[in-house]
Amino acid sequence: MLAVVLAGLGLADRAGIPALAGLPRPAEAPPDTAPDEPPTRITLGPGGRDVRLWGDLNDGAAARLRRVLDANPGVVRLHLTSDGGLVDEGAAIGELVAERGLVTYVPDYCVSACTLAFVRGRERLIVEDSRLGFHAPYEPGAFGSMVQVDSTEERGRYLAAGLEPDFVDQALGTPSRDIWIPDAARLRAAGVVTRVVGPGDLPDSTLDDDDSLAGARAAVLRAVDLLAPFAAQRPGVLDGIAARYRDAYRQGRSESEGLDLIRAEAAGAIRTAFLGTDDATMADLGRLVLDAMAASGSEEACRAVGRDGDLVAAAEALPDRRGLGRLGGLLDRAFAGPAPLAARARPTPLLAAASTLHGHAPGCAALRHRFAGMLARGDTLRLREALLGRTARRLEASALPGEP
């Protein structure tokens, strides 16, 4: 007899993403599936309170999850990221969830048979842009066809979990080749979701599918695409950021903490890339920063750009990705020159260091006035200091005539 399937239609694609080292890799249950069928990835998160389940729900997924739960009685939450799979596996995982009183959480997407597991949670959590997808169950037919089957059992499971009957009718009335993805408000109103959480509330799940260095590197590049030139020009810098993000993920840091880490690391790496660059490139960088301060829209955002030297924020402040294109072009020019002679410590912009030392923060208007004055006078030395810190002055002073 063919297995009844509830499988999603290619939703596994979202850009998304997280410092102490030396933590062990998450424990993973051994696969029960055949070698030619990738097993559902089931890992124990740091601290033993979260289990992350990622991938299609195929044969043996529920049994493997039970073994992980038996070995780790402190688990309280099950993270679900799945495009669907076998109805029996989704239902069996749901039974485990109910039996253990687990909270279920969808950080990204949970489609079709996955929802049978999700709705059994003691609490059912999503983030605002999570996607829950529903449609009628089916059996695979000849030549890739879908043969719709009776959905009485699935209807009973949804209703027993407390879902609104009209919602269940629409969910199971959606043809097997289609997918219905209600918004968060509809999910809450129908009793599918009990709470919408923020990206800083729970451990990050961005690397649940692949927490290797390559997976972390890909997540870093999705989060800050300005780092793409580093992959070819300074791969060690990119790998360092990826490793620190992966460490944070393995510690159970939240998604927002992980993104903050990536952005801060990226801003420091980009500033370092401009150490020792030529005056014309530095002047163009100063004009970009000045334009970004004017377009930033708030005192806080303006200070982040002009005082703290956050070049990622500067690029993003300009509309229509123009800032990203301009900063990307300037990075290409910086990489075309000699590598910076600075020490590995990242430079601190002079205005940020001065405001920390003297306990005051210049306002946006004052920052813009300073940068405009430096540019008008052609004072690239002070511009370097303002954007890159004292290290820039030392580098320029060391480049005396006649020295190699």
Residue-wise pLDDT tens digits, 289-316: 999 999 988 899 998 888 888 999 999 9
Residue that wins the pLDDT comparison between 386 and 230: 230
- The residue with tokens 């750009």 is 305
Q: Would you tell me how many other CB atoms lie within 10 Å of the CB of residue 345?
A: 10
- In this structure, of 25-29, 113-117, 162-166, 220-224, the range with the lowest mean pLDDT score is 25-29
Q: Where are the beta strands (DSSP E) in 315-366?
A: none
| Chain centre distance of CA 183 | 21
Q: Would you tell me how many other CB atoms lie within 10 Å of the CB of residue 207?
A: 25
CA 124 – CA 112 distance, rounded (Å): 16
Structure tokens at 12: 């596994």
Residue 163's nearest CA partner among 133, 184, 191 is 191
Residue that wins the pLDDT comparison between 146 and 333: 333
Residue 81 predicted with pLDDT over 70: yes
End-to-end CA, the chain? 79
HSE (CB half, 13 Å, CA atoms) of 209? 20
Residue 137 predicted with pLDDT over 70: yes
Distances (CA, A) of 206 to 167, 226, 239, 254, 302: 30, 19, 17, 10, 30
- The residue with tokens 């979260």 is 50
In this prediction, residue 8 carries a pLDDT of 55
CA 242 – CA 248 distance, rounded (Å): 10
In this prediction, residue 341 carries a pLDDT of 53
Distances (CA, A) of 364 to 257, 269, 305, 316, 318: 27, 24, 10, 17, 16
pLDDT band with cut points at 50, 70 and 90 for residue 246: very high
3 state SS of 222: helix
pLDDT band with cut points at 50, 70 and 90 for residue 237: very high
CA 336 – CA 149 distance, rounded (Å): 62
Span 201-219, average pLDDT? 94
Cβ-contact 16, 205 below 8 angstroms: no
Residue 322 predicted with pLDDT over 90: yes
Residue 31 predicted with pLDDT over 60: no
Residue 23 predicted with pLDDT over 70: no
- Summary mean pLDDT of the chain: 84
In this prediction, residue 347 carries a pLDDT of 61
Residue 140 predicted with pLDDT over 80: no
pLDDT band with cut points at 50, 70 and 90 for residue 109: very high
**Helix or strand (DSSP H, E) at 185:** helix 184-189
Residue 113 predicted with pLDDT over 60: yes
In this prediction, residue 340 carries a pLDDT of 60
User: Hey, what amino acid is at 76?
Assistant: V
pLDDT band with cut points at 50, 70 and 90 for residue 27: very low
Structure tokens at 403: 């020295």
CA 154 – CA 171 distance, rounded (Å): 10
CA 251 – CA 20 distance, rounded (Å): 8
Residue 50 predicted with pLDDT over 90: yes
pTM (whole model) above 0.85: no
CA 8 – CA 62 distance, rounded (Å): 19
pLDDT band with cut points at 50, 70 and 90 for residue 339: low
In this prediction, residue 177 carries a pLDDT of 86
Cβ-contact 116, 88 below 8 angstroms: no
Cβ-contact 34, 90 below 8 angstroms: no
Cβ-contact 192, 39 below 8 angstroms: no
381 — phi, psi (to 5°)? -65, -50
Residue 107's nearest CA partner among 90, 131, 91 is 131
In this prediction, residue 348 carries a pLDDT of 58
In this prediction, residue 271 carries a pLDDT of 92
Span 8-33, average pLDDT? 38
3 state SS of 115: helix
Residue 353 predicted with pLDDT over 50: no
Range with top average pLDDT, 98-112, 132-146, 349-363, 382-396: 98-112
In this prediction, residue 274 carries a pLDDT of 93
Residue 60 predicted with pLDDT over 60: yes
In this prediction, residue 11 carries a pLDDT of 55
- The secondary structure of residue 208, as a DSSP letter, is S
* Percent of residues, the chain, with pLDDT higher than 70: 78
State pLDDT tens for residues 368-402.
999 999 999 999 899 998 888 755 444 444 443 43
Structure tokens at 102: 């687990």
Q: Helix-strand-coil percent breakdown of the chain, rounded to 5?
A: 50, 10, 35
State pLDDT tens for residues 153-199.
999 999 999 999 999 999 999 998 899 999 999 999 999 999 999 99
- Residues 72, 33, 249, 255, CA torsion sign: negative
User: Hey, what amino acid is at 267?
Assistant: A
pLDDT band with cut points at 50, 70 and 90 for residue 16: very low
In this prediction, residue 37 carries a pLDDT of 59
